Amino acid sequence: MNLFDIIGPVMIGPSSSHTAGAARLGKLARNIFGEDFNKADITLYNSFAKTGQGHGTDKAIVAGILGMDPDDEDLRNAIDLSHESGIEVNLILEESKRELHPNTAKIILYGKDKTMSITGCSLGGGRVMIQDIDGFKTEFTGEFNTIISVQRDKPGIVAYVTSYLAQKNINIAQMKLSRRSKGDMALMIIETDETPPKSVKEDLEKHEGIYKIVISTI
């Protein structure tokens, strides 16, 4: 246990799990989606569903998808602000999903030409874990700069990406790869020590086997 686990983050609201963690989940979802959206379906599970509204979890997640930090004074008004921004927000409560972490949320964002589903949980102390992106199982915390690659499951792509990052002097802290089935779509999560420049996205997307690169920076 570290100091962050004990004292928690600076935040607006009574609970680091239900407020700070929820806001971080929302902001990570926004970063992963990577473009404007006009609708959000937010499902709160288990403890989030039972006590989340009383603790402001719903407002915190909406604040996060609007780009706010957990200590933003406007967090309390996030739902009203989402309406003013023209974003439709639908809240769904599911109290009995035993297979999921007690503080789990699924956020589905709808943009002009795409939809994305992101599921994550709040671990306490404001820490979070993203567990699923569009059906790809994964694990990352958002505590590092993160490169997300949607790519074909074929030999050579992982080596291409890691070699490219080495040439740019970007050190890999952690990496995780998941796929739907052999030879199908795959998702690679790379957490880095250095902040990737904007050129990384453009350069990597030139590879015929890489469909999309998303970069989330801390």
- Backbone φ and ψ for 24, nearest 5 degrees, come out as -65, -40
φ, ψ of residue 200 to 5 degrees: the values are -60, -45
Q: For residues 72 and 164, state if they share a domain.
A: no
Longest dimension (CA), the chain: 50
Domain of residue 198, CATH code:
3.30.70.260
CA distance between the termini of the chain = 22
With 0-12 / 13-18 / 19 or more C-beta atoms within 10 angstroms meaning exposed / middle / buried, residue 134 is: middle
How are the residues of the chain apportioned to helix, strand and coil, as percentages rounded to the nearest 5? 35, 35, 35
Verify that 59 and 130 share a domain, yes or no: yes
Residuewise pLDDT in 10s, the chain (218 residues): 343 343 344 444 445 556 899 999 999 999 999 899 999 999 999 888 887 777 789 999 999 999 998 888 899 999 999 999 999 999 999 887 778 888 999 999 999 999 999 999 998 888 899 999 999 999 989 899 999 999 999 999 999 999 999 999 999 999 999 998 899 999 999 999 999 999 999 999 999 999 999 998 87
Assigned domain for 68 exists: yes
User: What's this model's pTM, rounded to 2 decimal places?
Assistant: 0.84
56 lies in which domain range? 3-134
Shared domain check, 168 and 121: no
Shared domain check, 206 and 179 = yes
